[in-house]
Amino acid sequence: MKVESLVTKEKREIEARSDSEKTIDPANLEMFEIARKAGVETAFDRVVKQEPKCPYCFSGLSCRNCAMGPCRITAKADRGVCGATGDVMVARGLLRNILGGAASHVDHARHVALTLLHAARGEAPYQIKDEAKLRNLGTMLGIPNAESMEVNKLAEQVAMRALEEIGATHANGGTWIKMHSTQERLETWSKLGVLPEGGMLPILEGMHRTSMGNDADPVNLILGCIKAGLADGFYGLHMSTDLQDVLFGTPKPKFSEAGMGVLEADYVNIACHGHVPILSEKIVEAAEALQEEAKKAGAKGINVVGICCTGNEILERQGIPQVGNELNSELVIATGALDAMVVDYQCIFPALVPAAQCFHTKIITTAPIVKIPGAEHIEFDEKRADEVAKEIVRRAIENYKQRDPSKVHIPKFKTELLAGFSVEALLEVLSKINSEDPLAPLVESIANGDIKGAVAIVGCNNPRVPHDLMHVELAKELVKRDILVLATGCAAHAHAKAGLMKPEGYKLAGERLQRVLKALGEAAGLEALPPVLHFGSCVDNSRINQLLKALAEKLGVAIKDLPVAASAPEYNTEKALSIGTWAVALGVTTHVNPLPRITGSEVVTNLLTKDAEQLIGAKFIHSPDPKESADMIEEVILEKRRKLGLPA
Ligand code: SF4
Ligand code: SF4
């Protein structure tokens, strides 16, 4: 379809959507009217005001990388002022997006590594919660005596290695990528020349090569995208998960609840929003310690709830209930029951502040790189973590007294969920069936077709797409076809709210998958395992690679040959693009929606949706429709099964 037609079609669809077509979350539906009456404008309103979209930006055919522009490709101009073609603009724009995503995750990992370093040196009030994981990491990193060294000494060395590998400037492929990759992948990346030196250099190099007068070869630029995606996957996602598990514990399955109904009318409600557990874990602790102060202020206690990925982090380790994902974040404020929203970084809408100004809610920013005019800023310093967390919780308690009960409206909707599926936890469940060889039951079910394949549904919300609809309908379609779903990020919130993460949800699966879920669930002392397994936050997509690597090595095949796929069906962030590129680089075909800004270049579109398969064993696919997406994904899985000689 021509770009102009795509733009017009999207304009028509977005402008025509009634409230009930904007979201499938019943709490959001209930809150729309209340928010409007209170004067709160949300992303659902603003997305309409952005229509129609600029067709040049929509298709990637624009560039503002220097002051000779901005430039765009039109009927009379087939090059920018410097001579950059449309293919170059599209490839360069995509790479810059991926660099933004990779930078966010690598900086997240750097923050966790620094916290581990300060903790190990006794300078910050954190303890090592998973010593076994630390020792294992130390051994994989080749640190001598990692098995017996004093725990804090080892933590210091692991943290230093992490920081060195993030900043590496010349070594080709550090240890972090090697310890989490199969030999086959390392060789493929090496041959393509995309093995990242470390976390930061591919980002630095990527910014350099995309500035005016540098890389003008779209193919070479796409290789830069893969390199940046790999830097993200191993020096962002994997490193963050590894070190967070060491500091805060490796998740284990636990029950909790999701939906706006987790807010409590008589409690001080504090929502933790953002991405890292470094602050939110401390907020949970401080809230526990200050319950009595809340009671003195007239509340029954303190209720901490989670939003987005920091929510997922404290859910998977502490069982903290989830009030919503990204497109719930403004409407949660309109309940009038939120006393503070504490944010760290990433996915924090600046519009939270004007929304909060219509109520008594305090938006508390904490990161030196994330300040919003009108928010209260209490700078977080991990060396003073307990003190700062208490100060924030006390601010919420004080603010409870400002709450206007006549403005409180909490939707009743909430649903039970089971979260905390790390690979270690999954293996523990599987070991109840086969203690000698825990992966065997999983491999057997995949081989005989009881589990036809597995799909990771991940990523964000996007008001260009009806909220949660693609996440939920795609998952339902897949599990019905005996395809197991693993979820992270805002996708996981959507699945939880839709009941796909509670044990009874297994009834939504196909008959054969139901049998497996029941057998595994019973082994774990439950009615069944849910058909969608909560694998954590966005950085925890690393856990999915950990599982793929283990399966590939067990079966003696490459990851690209496994009957698996991934989908980011409502993505919005640059981080989702870099994670998706990493997934394709791993050999996992990845479905994305909405369309990335690449349609202006046939060269780039063909590379990513066709030729990538030859180069790397996987490609991007796109469909805006859940049923059609499931058909495409199932076909990818069936094709892999045919190649492996497995029954369909
Ligand atoms: S880099 Fe080239 S295409 Fe981009 S704005 Fe400058 S002159 Fe225009
Ligand atoms: S899934 Fe996307 S929107 Fe949600 S927290 Fe992660 S990056 Fe942000």
**Tens-digit pLDDT profile for residues 191-217:** 999 999 999 999 999 999 999 999 999
Q: For 69, list phi and psi in degrees, rounded to 5.
A: -100, -155
Q: pLDDT, tens digit, for every residue of 510-567?
A: 999 999 999 999 999 999 999 999 999 999 999 999 999 999 999 999 999 999 999 9
Tell me if 343 is assigned to some domain.
Answer: yes
Closest CA to 194 of 227, 220, 230: 227
pLDDT at 2 over 90: no
Distance 100 CA to ligand 1 centre (A): 20
Structural tokens at position 391: 């100060």
Tell me if 621 is assigned to some domain.
Answer: yes
Please choose from 312, 347, 534 the residue to mutate so as to test ligand 2's pocket, defined by most ligand atoms within 8 A of CB.
347
pLDDT at 1 over 80: no
437 in the same domain as 388: no
Ligand 1 atom, smallest distance to 89 CA: 3
462 in the same domain as 339: no
pLDDT at 628 over 90: yes
Q: pLDDT, tens digit, for every residue of 218-274?
A: 999 999 999 999 999 999 999 999 999 999 999 999 999 999 999 999 999 999 999
Ligand 1 atom, smallest distance to 84 CA: 3
Q: Please, what's the largest Cα pairwise distance for the chain?
A: 71
391 in the same domain as 298: yes
pLDDT at 171 over 80: no
Q: Please state whether the predicted TM-score (pTM) of the whole model is above 0.95.
A: yes
Please choose from 62, 64, 72, 82 the residue to mutate so as to test ligand 1's pocket, defined by most ligand atoms within 8 A of CB.
82
65 in the same domain as 90: no
d(CA 147, CA 138): 8
Chain centroid, CA 292 distance in Å: 35
When pLDDT is averaged across residues 138-155 and rounded to a whole number, the result is: 97
Ligand 2 atom, smallest distance to 458 CA: 1
pLDDT at 310: 98
Distance 389 CA to ligand 1 centre (A): 46
Give the rounded percent of residues in the chain with a pLDDT score beyond 90.
Answer: 98
pLDDT at 4: 86
Binned at pLDDT 50, 70 and 90, residue 406 comes out as: very high
Please choose from 542, 573, 577, 578 the residue to mutate so as to test ligand 2's pocket, defined by most ligand atoms within 8 A of CB.
573
**Structural contact between residues 563 and 641, judged by C-beta atoms closer than 8 angstroms:** yes
265 in the same domain as 242: no
d(CA 362, CA 360): 7
pLDDT at 94 over 90: yes
Ligand in closest contact with the CA of 73: 1
Task: Output b/e per residue, 302-327; b: 16+ Cβ within 10 A.
Answer: bbbbbbbbbbbbbbbbbbbbbbbbbb
Ligand in closest contact with the CA of 86: 1
Number of domains in the chain: 4
Mean pLDDT of the chain: 97
pLDDT at 619: 98
Closest CA to 21 of 500, 592, 468, 335: 468
Residue 15 identity (one-letter amino acid): E
CATH code for position 192: 1.20.1270.30
Query: If residue 567 lies in a helix (H) or strand (E), which one and from where to where?
Result: strand 564-568
Q: pLDDT, tens digit, for every residue of 24-79?
A: 999 999 999 999 999 999 999 999 999 999 999 999 999 999 999 999 999 999 99
d(CA 244, CA 264): 29
60 in the same domain as 112: no
- The protein residue whose alpha carbon is closest to atom 1 in ligand 1 is 212
pLDDT at 648 over 90: no
Ligand 2 atom, smallest distance to 325 CA: 4
Whole domain around residue 50: which residue ranges?
Answer: 3-72
Distance 409 CA to ligand 2 centre (A): 26
Closest CA to 40 of 448, 343, 351: 351
d(CA 391, CA 377): 12
Closest CA to 404 of 468, 360, 457: 360
Tell me if 366 is assigned to some domain.
Answer: yes
Distance 111 CA to ligand 2 centre (A): 18
Ligand in closest contact with the CA of 345: 2
Alpha-carbon distances of 131 from 127, 234, 467, rounded to whole Å: 10, 21, 40
550 in the same domain as 638: yes
Query: Beta strand 590-592 with 62-63: parallel, antiparallel or unpaired?
Result: unpaired
Which amino acids bring their CB within 6 angstroms of ligand 2? 308-309, 325-326, 346-347, 459-460, 489-490, 538, 573, 575-576
When pLDDT is averaged across residues 348-373 and rounded to a whole number, the result is: 98
Distance 51 CA to ligand 1 centre (A): 26
Residue 162: how many CB atoms within 10 A of its CB?
A: 28
400 in the same domain as 341: yes
Distance 597 CA to ligand 1 centre (A): 17
Tell me if 569 is assigned to some domain.
Answer: yes
100 in the same domain as 11: no
Please choose from 65, 78, 207 the residue to mutate so as to test ligand 1's pocket, defined by most ligand atoms within 8 A of CB.
65
| DSSP class per residue in 403-456 | --GGG-------EEEEE---HHHHHHHHHTT-SS-THHHHHHHHHHTSS-EEEE
Please state the length of the chain: 648
